[in-house]
Structure 1
Amino acid sequence: MLVPDPKAVRKLLTRYASLRIAYAERGRPETARELEDVSYTLCVMMGTTDVYDAVAKADALLMAGTAAAGSGTRDRGPRPPVERRTVGLRTGADHPAEPLAESGR
C-alpha cells in the first residue's frame, strides 16, 4: 500500500482546518468550493470516501510518524526557546491595539 508523504498530509490538514474556520466565520461560496476541493483531495490521499475518516487516518499517520521519529537513538539535544512576538500592533493603557502603519505616530 502506498503511504502519502507526511509533509503533504500535514499541509493539507492545515489547509482543511483553515478553510473550515473561514467558512464557519464568513460562509462565502468560494470558500465552500475550496473546502470541497481540499476535502476531496484529503479523502483521495487517505483512501477514504468520508472526510472525517480521512482526517482521522491523516492524524494517525502523522502521530505514527512522530512516534517513529521520537524512538531514534540519536540525541538531538534541547531545542532553543521560541521567541513570541506581536508584530505590527501597539498596545498599552494609552495606546489601544491599533496597526502601527495606520497610527501616524
Structure 2
Amino acid sequence: MLMAHPTVLADLLQQYEALRARHAQEGGAQLLQRLNDVSYTLCVATGTRDVDDALTAARRRLSGTRAEVQAVGADT
C-alpha cells in the first residue's frame, strides 16, 4: 500500500483538528463540508474507511517516522 508522506499526514492532522475545533465553536455547513473533505482525505491517505481509524493510523505513522529519524540520527 502506498503511504502518504509524513509531512502530508501532519498537515492533514493539523487541518482536521483546527476545523473540528472551529466547527464545534461556530458550526455552519461550510465548515462541516471542509471537515468532511479533510476527513475523507485522511481516510484515503491512511487506507482506512473511518476517520477515527484514519487519525489513529496517521498518528501511529508519524510517531514511527519520528522514531526512525531519531534512530538514524543516533547512527551518525
Structure-1-length-normalised TM-score: 0.68
Q: Which residue of 2 aligns with 1:47?
A: 47
Distance 2:42 2:31 in 1: 16
Distance 2:38 2:71 in 1: 32
Deviations 1:3-39 (A, max 9, x none): 1100001001000000000000011110001000000
Structure-2-length-normalised TM-score: 0.93
Q: Which residue of 1 aligns with 2:32?
A: 32
Distance 1:56 1:31 in 2: 22
| Structure of higher CA gyration radius | 1
> Identity, % of aligned pairs?
38
Which protein, 1 or 2, shows the higher relative CO under an 8 Å CA cutoff with sep ≥ 6?
A: 2
Q: Which residue of 2 aligns with 1:80?
A: none
Offset, 1:54: 0.2
Aligned AA (1:42): L
Offset, 1:68: 0.5
Offset, 1:2: 1.2
Q: Which consecutive segments of 4 or more residues in structure 1 shift more than 2 A? A: none
Gaps of 5+ in 1: 75-105
Q: Which residue of 2 aligns with 1:88?
A: none
Q: Which residue of 2 aligns with 1:97?
A: none
Gaps of 5+ in 2: none
Alpha-carbon RMSD across the aligned residues, in angstroms, is 0.7
**Aligned residues, how many?**
74
Distance 2:59 2:70 in 1: 16
Offset, 1:64: 0.3
Offset, 1:57: 0.1
Q: Which residue of 2 aligns with 1:5?
A: 5
